[in-house]
Amino acid sequence: MKEGDNGFLVPPDDPPTLATAIDALLADPALRRDCGARARRRFEDGFTLDAMLGKTLAVYRQALEAHSR
C-alpha cells in the first residue's frame, strides 16, 4: 500500500482524517480513477486466489527443498 497511490490509510476512530481522505477523492476524479486502477492491479497481481495459491506453493516448495538438503 502506497499512501495516495492506491488508497489511503486512515487511523481507526479518526473521523477528521477519514473525512480529509474522502474529500480528496471527491474533489479529484482523476485521483479516484487512477487510485482505483492501481489498487485493482495490486489486487490482481498479488491477492487473487491463483496468486495466493502460487505464493503458498512456492513457500512449501522452498521448505521441502531446504529440508531435503
Q: Is residue 46 one of the residues assigned to a domain? A: yes
Split into its structural domains, the chain has a count of 1
For the chain, which ranges sit under pLDDT 70? 1-2
Q: What end-to-end distance do the CA atoms of the chain give, in Å?
A: 36
Q: Please check whether residue 49 lies inside any domain of the structure.
A: yes
**Confidence (pTM):** 0.67
- SS3 category, 7: strand
Q: Which domain holds residue 55?
A: 15-67
Inside any domain, residue 61: yes
Q: What is the pLDDT of residues 38-57, one digit of tens each?
A: 999 999 988 999 999 999 99
Domain for residue 8, yes or no?
no
23 within a domain of the structure (yes/no): yes
